[in-house]
Structure formats: structure tokens, C-alpha cells
């Protein structure tokens, strides 16, 4: 009886073994043929579609923010025009003359009649600058008292347009501004400079063109 029972169970085992081999063969065929030739390219296309949609969303968000950015830029330009940081003149020659005039005005305000502070030398100095921001420099030498010097430097660096003082050298000396009057003073030299306004105003760059997102693979046009 036992051998006959084993003979009846053998076809079942063979069928299950054949089924297992078929499944293994199908899995191997999928890995070797279907996946590299169909599934992987389709997933790559889908990844590109998702990336294009994310890029399109970012661009649309930036476009929606453009009016607010333009409004902020206009406000900044208006504020800058009320308190200019750059020199008002358009050329280095005119800007140099403006610097000298500003210096003379400040020194005269600090010492009316130049009784205790006077300009002994002022000469333009060529200064290399970047393509966008060109400096205008004047070498200055003063004979000043200490309070007057402090007033001059403060007025130069705190006014508008913005001016800067560099290479400041101060030496003690004896001077006489008026005949018969003499007192201890300072021999002061420094570089006074400002920047010309850039030739082109800042502009908001044009938004990039939005490319249409690629269609899903397999999609059929309804028309």
C-alpha cells in the first residue's frame, strides 16, 4: 500500500516543482528583460516629469512674488534718492570739484574766517576702482585746532552724500592764523573720497520662460 501512495503523490510534487520553476523563470525574465527595457525607462521618465512640475511650481511662485519685489525695490530707490549715498555728479571731474567744495564749506563752518582751521593743500588722486563703483579721491592737508578737526571729520563722514576719510595722519605743530596770534595746533593729512553712482540702475531680471510639463507616458489626446 505504501508504494502505491507514493506513486500517487509524485505527480502533485512534480506539478508544484514545475510551477515553482515557471515562477522563477518569469521572475528572471522580468529582471533581465522587462525591467531594464521597459520599467526602468518609464520610472526615469516619471522622475523627469515630477522634477519639471516642481520646477514649474517654483517659477510660478516667484512670478507671483514679482509685484511685491518690484514694490519693495521702488520704495528702496525712493528712499535712496532722498538720502543719496553716491556722489551727485556724473563725472570724476565734477565729483572732484564737488568734494573740494564740500571740504571748503565744512572747514569754513568749523572755523569761520579760517581763524583756527585752514586748508593748506587739496589735490585729486587717481584711484583704481571696480567696473561698477568708481571712487573719487582728494588728498587733503589741514592746519587745525583739535576741536575744529573733530568737527570737520564728523561733518564730512556724517553728511550726505556719503564721504569717507582714510590714511589720517595727525602731527602737532605751532601755527599762526592771524598776525600776532599763535597757538599750538595740528598738521593733518588724509584722503577724502566718495563713489560715483553706477551708470546703470538696478533692474529686476526677466522671469524665465516656463516650459510645458511633458505629458505622462501612454496618455491619449482626447481630441
All structural domains of the chain with their residue ranges: 1-82, 92-195
Tell me which residue has cell 491619449. Answer: 220
What is the radius of gyration, based on Cα positions, of the chain?
Answer: 41
Of all residues in the chain, the percent with pLDDT exceeding 90 is 31
Cell 565734477 identifies what position? 94
Calpha distance 98→103 (Å, rounded): 9
Contacts 24+ apart (CB under 8 A), 55-63: 56/210, 56/211, 56/213, 59/207, 59/208, 59/210, 60/210, 62/207, 63/207
Q: Measured between alpha carbons, how far is 187 from 180 in angstroms, rounded to an integer?
A: 20
Q: What is the pLDDT of residue 118?
A: 93
Ranked by mean pLDDT, which of 19-33, 36-50, 149-163, 196-210 comes out on top? 149-163
Grid look-up 553728511 returns 159
Q: Which residue has the higher pLDDT, 3 or 187?
A: 187
How would residue 173 be classed by pLDDT, with cut points 50, 70 and 90?
Answer: confident
Query: What is the mean predicted confidence (pLDDT) over 68-80?
Result: 80
Residue 200: pLDDT band by 50, 70, 90 thresholds? Answer: low
- Domain 92-195 matching CATH 3.40.50.1980: the answer reads no
The string of pLDDT tens digits covering residues 87-138 is 888 889 999 999 999 999 999 999 998 888 999 999 998 876 566 778 999 9
Q: Which runs of consecutive H residues, i.e. helices, occur in the chain?
A: 2-29, 40-82, 92-110, 146-158
| pLDDT average, residue stretch 212-216 | 47
pLDDT at position 161 is 86
Sign of CA dihedral 94, 95, 100, 106: positive
Amino acid at each position: 500500500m505504501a508504494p502505491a501512495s507514493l506513486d500517487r503523490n509524485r505527480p502533485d510534487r512534480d506539478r508544484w516543482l514545475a510551477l515553482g520553476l515557471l515562477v522563477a523563470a518569469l521572475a528572471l525574465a522580468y529582471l533581465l528583460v522587462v525591467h531594464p527595457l521597459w520599467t526602468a525607462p518609464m520610472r526615469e521618465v516619471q522622475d523627469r516629469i515630477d522634477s519639471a512640475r516642481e520646477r514649474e511650481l517654483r517659477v510660478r511662485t516667484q512670478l507671483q512674488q514679482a509685484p511685491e519685489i518690484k514694490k519693495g525695490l521702488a520704495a528702496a530707490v525712493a528712499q535712496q534718492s532722498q538720502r543719496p549715498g553716491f556722489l551727485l555728479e556724473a563725472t570724476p571731474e565734477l565729483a572732484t570739484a564737488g568734494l573740494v567744495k564740500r571740504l571748503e564749506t565744512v572747514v569754513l563752518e568749523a572755523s569761520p574766517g579760517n581763524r583756527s582751521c585752514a586748508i593748506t593743500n587739496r589735490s585729486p588722486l587717481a584711484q583704481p576702482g571696480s567696473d561698477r563703483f568708481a571712487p573719487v579721491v582728494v588728498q587733503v592737508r589741514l592746519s587745525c585746532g583739535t576741536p575744529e578737526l573733530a568737527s570737520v571729520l564728523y561733518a564730512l563722514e556724517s553728511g550726505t552724500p556719503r564721504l569717507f576719510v582714510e590714511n589720517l595722519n595727525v602731527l602737532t605743530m605751532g601755527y599762526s592764523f592771524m598776525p600776532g596770534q599763535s597757538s599750538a595746533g595740528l598738521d593733518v593729512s588724509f584722503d577724502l573720497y566718495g563713489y560715483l553712482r553706477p551708470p546703470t540702475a538696478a533692474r529686476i531680471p526677466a522671469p524665465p520662460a516656463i516650459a510645458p510639463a511633458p505629458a505622462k507616458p501612454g496618455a491619449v489626446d482626447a481630441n
